Amino acid sequence: MPIVKMSELLAKAEKEGYAVGSFSVANMEMVLGVLKAVEETKSPAIIQIAEVRLNHSPLELIGPLMVAAAENCSMPVAVHFDHGKTEEKIRQALEIGFTSVMFDGSHLPFEENATQTAKIKRIAAEYGADCEGEIGCVGGSEDGSEDIAINCTSPDQAAEFHRLTGVDALAVAIGNAHGNYKQTPKLRFDILEQTASKVDVPLVLHGGTGILPDDFRKCISLGIHKINIATATFDRVEQSVRNAYAEENIKGYYDLQSAEVDGAYRNALGHIEIFGCAGKA
């Protein structure tokens, strides 16, 4: 199946009331594990990598791998550049064939975030790709290097931001944070509901790791149609390898590789079921 655009997947998810999992990957094993779950459950999916991760997984290597994997998958898969910070890397991802990019200007003053996001939206459009923006500020940080405070989205600002930028998907801050939560998150469903009533665009929930299944379902019922999962995948892959060693199942390198694939597969499988996208390809 040809690689698809994020907007295509999210439009169907919005119409049919589910969310598409957007799974961060760092190597081929994670890509294989996620797409195994996607094939098995007949789900749409997004695979993504964030700019801060590129020092571990160079874009010129992992990018073509992600695009090729999406093209080879028999289910609809979009390839997304997560938390883009620089025009240079965003353009590189688009050149490689990513079908969407996020510009994360959430730390910038409103006007500057809107101006820069609108510019990236225009650049993405030149490549026939989609653009995601963020309004408000999701807590933590993508790679755990900073502990950024949560700044909840203002529904009115979200509407103005969408009007100014025309983004295809909008990440909101409703008490969610990247990384493992120190305590169970208390999501502001009231803010999500008000934002969804004012902005006619699929909303995105970042910081998916550690959110309870019922909270995911409630978010989906209130307008979230893309959910980002990163830390849960990395933790599950690591745990899978630890378990395999503890059970003396690793006799050589390829057993180690299988344990990694299996961790990513099981993590994606669980989230796909909760997000309601199984069978929606």
Could you give the CA distance from residue 175 to residue 231 in angstroms, rounded to a whole number? 17
Contact 57, 26 (CB under 8 A): yes
Which one, 175 or 258, has the nearer CB to ligand 13P? Answer: 175
Which one, 105 or 258, has the nearer CB to ligand 13P? Answer: 105
Residue 143 is a catalytic residue: no
Residue 22 token pair: 């957007």
Q: Which of 82, 104, 130, 168 is catalytic?
A: 82
Q: What are phi and psi of 10, to 5 degrees?
A: -75, -30
Contact 83, 54 (CB under 8 A): no
Which one, 83 or 91, has the nearer CB to ligand 13P? Answer: 83
- Encoded one letter per residue, x for contact with ligand 13P by CB under 6 A and - for no contact, window 17-56 reads -------x-------------------------x------
Q: Does 280 bind ligand 13P (CB under 6 A)?
A: no
Q: Does 209 bind ligand 13P (CB under 6 A)?
A: yes
Of 8-16, 89-97, 152-160, 226-234, which segment contacts ligand 13P by CB under 6 A? Answer: 226-234
Contact 273, 217 (CB under 8 A): no
Could you give the CA distance from residue 217 to residue 220 in angstroms, rounded to a whole number? 5
Could you give the CA distance from residue 71 to residue 4 in angstroms, rounded to a whole number? 9
Q: Which residues are catalytic?
A: 82
Residues in contact with ligand 13P by CB under 6 A are: 24, 50, 82-83, 142, 178-179, 206-209, 228-232
